[in-house]
Every structure is written in C-alpha cells, then in structure tokens.
Amino acid sequence: MLKEALEKVIREFPDARQTSFTNHPLASYFRHDLPGIVKEACLPINTKFLTRGSAGLTVWNFCPWIAVLDPEITETPQEKYYPVFLFAEDMSGVFLSLNQGTERSSMREIQHRAAIYRGILGNSTGSPLNSIDLKATTSRTRKYEAGNICAYFYQANSIPDDYALRSDLARLIDLCHKLYATENSICGLSTIDSDPPEAYRTKEGRIQFKKHRERDQALARKAKQHFGYKCKACGFAFPTTYGDIGKQFIEAHHLVPIGASVDEIENDVNAMTVLCSNCHSMIHRYDDCSDLAGFREHIREIGKMNVEQQ
C-alpha cells in the first residue's frame, strides 16, 4: 500500500502541478490519505508516531513531502530531526531521508548541523546516502538537500515493496532515536546549536563526550576574545571570505580532557582554542581532538601532498 501511494504521487504530481492547487484531489490526498498510509506502515514499529504531509499550502510545493515525527523528539517538521519522504522536483524518484527542520536556519547552519549529526552517528548509519539530489530549483528544496543526515533513494520506476520500505523506515527511526539519546547525553540540551559536541580521550583510549554547561558558553566567549578570530589550525579568517558578516565569528574548542578537574577546565582559557567551522568538525574525527599541534601538522601534510600532485 505504501509502495502504491508513493507511485501514485510520482505518477500524478507533474500533471497536478500544472493545475490549480485549491480543492485538487491530490492536495487532499497529501493532507489526509497519505499520512494515514505512512502511519499504518509505522504501526509495527510504534503507535505513537505522528505523520504530516504537504504538497503545498496555497500553491503546489516543488518538493512535496511526508514526515514521520516522534512526539518525544518533535511534533513539528520545523524543529529537530525525523525521517521524511522527499520527492525529487522532477519526480525522478523519492528519498527516505533522516532530515531536520530547516525553515528557521540559514544554509550554513543546516549544513553544519547535518555534519555534526553524521559525526555523532558515525558508522551506525551503515549504507544510507550522506547527500541527496532533489533536482532543486528553489531555495527551500536546496535546504532539504542540505538538511539530509542520511537517506535511501528509490527510483521512480523501481520503488521497493512495502516490506523493504518499512525496513528502511524502521532503520531511520532507530537512527533518529540514537541521535536523540546521544545528543542529550553529550550536550545535556534538547538541541545542538552552532557548536559541535566536545570529545576527549580517556586514559584507556575511549572517546567520550562532555556535557555543555552554561559556564562553558562564558568560557567560550572568553577564549574567542583571548585568541582572536583566526582559526588556530588552518589560519582561516571569516571576514576574508565573507566580509562584514564574518567579523568576530569563530568557534571555540575544548583542548583539556574533561577527565581533569572541573575548576581546571572551566576557569582556564588555555583549556580552549578557536577554530573555523571546518576544522572544528574535522578535529572531532582526528585521532585525538585535544592534539591541536598534531591536527595542524596533519593539515600541512595534506596540503603538501595536494601541491605535489598538481
């Protein structure tokens, strides 16, 4: 039934979009029938899920969607993250994407969060796609593309059967729950804003994550004032590329292992450094995210290799 519903949208949407949105049966199908069909597909997993679908408000969307929301995480597709069926603008297929609320964020913020979320999930995502191509012609659709954390793609002429669709949906729901549980445990917050979670290595070599506290924000501001606004790893300065909007923008990164005493790290600005967004994300994938010198040398070596290959 779910397979047939997705095929119906792909088959009928191109013609429907050429007509008036008001009172169109396919628009009604998105608001009423399709959420129920997806809800039924979720029933073997959990009965609490909310399903929301939209082909537009007063005019047709370029990229219609149907979302699966866990009310413990979010009750609206404008916030947090959730599995969602996203139809390509040209109806060449449909993605089942673990995506995020995008309307209240800039493109940079959306991309940054997606990278953080993928970093948190790590290898647990398995084989889903890290990027999606919705054949975007609008900024809203491009935000959907940027918001993807991981996804499955089904070509228009080869939508899998309901069993496979439910299996993929269950997988993304599981990842959504893992992301939510991990985010709460490492941040002590309900959302991740602009800064990625801070990680450190224990003496046994395990990577662990610290909880952010309000005092961390004050220390981060202090670190930025102390070290300035140029990346201490690659030397990037945001105003050089972005002009005035990049002034006094940089991200703070903890260097001292959180296994140290609380006072030692919370009151010492030298327990931190400042990094550009890319380096801040990448240092969390480095062997030791407290080893700024080693990370800086890694960047230099990669740069030398690239020059030699040119």
Using CA of residue 262, residue 120, residue 50, residue 62, what is the dihedral sign?
positive
CA R_g for the chain: 22
pLDDT of 256 reads 61
| 28: its two tokens | 């009604």
CB of 1 closer than 8 Å to CB of 165:
no
3-state DSSP assignment of residue 295 = helix
Determine how many CB atoms are found less than 10 A away from the CB of residue 64: 24
Phi-psi region at 197: left, alpha or beta (left = phi > 0; alpha = psi -120 to 50): beta
* Helix/strand/coil for 171: helix
Helix (H, G, I), strand (E, B) or coil at 149: coil
Which H or E run contains 66? Answer: strand 60-69
Cβ contacts of 175 within 8 Å, gap of 6 or more: 98, 121, 124, 125, 149, 150
pLDDT for the residue numbered 158? 94
Ranges under pLDDT 70 in the chain: 43-47, 124-127, 183-217, 256-268, 310
Just give the CATH number of 2-185. Answer: 3.30.920.90
pLDDT of residue 232: 93
| Residue 39: per-residue pLDDT | 86
The domain ranges of the chain are: 2-185, 199-309
* Reported pTM: 0.61
The DSSP 8-state label assigned to residue 237 in this structure reads: B
